[in-house]
């Protein structure tokens, strides 16, 4: 299974290593034509404004939307979850969301870098607590009726699945725990 990781900025290397450890063929995606033939794409954490500007410069917006319409699954972590949303709270006026997922995501919901934290999370379908790493994390303010909320922290939505899309506001790639990557491969891509 070929899975791409958007490699413009942010924690893309860690996702590639986790996916390869699970047997996937992981591709660092730096140009839109590298998405051809991918079963899934990971939009990593990083700085959402910087990633959005680079995506616009290199023509990723239309390419990702088109490939998703053709069946490519998408997973956004932290900044990637922000970009997947239909609406972004607290974003600069010129930051365009991809509009893939029917969700509203609020940037920097937990505060600044110094307010970053770790917390055990109960993530549906993976068994046992998962170590949530929140770094200038967003939160998901609302989702569609057909979305499945997979995880909450202090009552707030921090992970959701909508059909062939997954959004996590924390960083599974920084934990050494592959269970959410496995969930993406087996259940989000596997169900596409």
Q: How many residues does this entry show for the chain?
A: 192
Tokens 């934990």: give the residue: 175
Dihedral pair phi/psi, residue 137, rounded to 5°: -75, 145
CA angle at residue 164 from 19 to 53, to 5 degrees? 75
Instruction: Indicate the average pLDDT of the chain.
Output: 93
Alpha-carbon distance of 145 to 57, in angstroms, equals 34
CA angle at residue 175 from 167 to 44, to 5 degrees? 40
Alpha-carbon distance of 14 to 69, in angstroms, equals 27
Give the residue numbers annotated as catalytic, written as ranges.
78, 171, 173
pLDDT (tens digit per residue) in 117-148 = 899 999 999 998 999 999 989 999 999 999 99
| Residue 78 · residue 169 · CB < 8 Å | yes
Nearest residue to 29 (alpha-carbon basis) of 2, 49, 65: 2
pLDDT (tens digit per residue) in 60-79 = 999 999 999 999 999 999 99
Give the domain ranges of the chain.
2-189
Question: Within 10 Å of residue 125's Cβ, how many Cβ atoms?
Answer: 13
Of 179 and 108, more confident: 179
Residues contacting 95, CB < 8 A, separation 6+: 48, 49, 52, 88
- CATH of region 2-189: 3.40.50.880
pTM given for the model: 0.95
């Amino acid at each position: 299974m070929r899975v791409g990781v958007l490699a413009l900025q942010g924690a893309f290397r860690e996702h590639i290593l986790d996916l390869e450890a699970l047997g996937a063929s992981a591709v660092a995606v730096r140009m839109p034509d590298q998405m051809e033939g991918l079963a899934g794409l990971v939009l990593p954490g990083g700085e959402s404004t910087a990633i959005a500007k680079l995506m616009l410069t290199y023509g990723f917006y239309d390419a990702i939307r088109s490939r998703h319409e053709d069946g490519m699954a998408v997973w956004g972590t932290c900044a990637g979850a922000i970009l997947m949303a239909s609406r972004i709270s607290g974003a600069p006026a010129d930051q365009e969301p991809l509009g893939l997922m029917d969700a509203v995501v609020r940037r920097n919901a937990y505060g600044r870098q110094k307010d970053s934290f770790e917390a055990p999370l109960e993530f549906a379908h993976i068994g046992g607590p998962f170590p949530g790493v929140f770094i200038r994390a967003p939160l998901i303010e609302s989702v569609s009726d057909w979305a499945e909320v997979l995880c909450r922290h202090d009552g707030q939505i921090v992970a959701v699945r909508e059909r062939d899309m997954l959004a996590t506001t924390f960083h599974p790639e920084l934990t050494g725990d592959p269970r959410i990557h496995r969930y993406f491969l087996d259940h989000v891509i596997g169900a596409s």
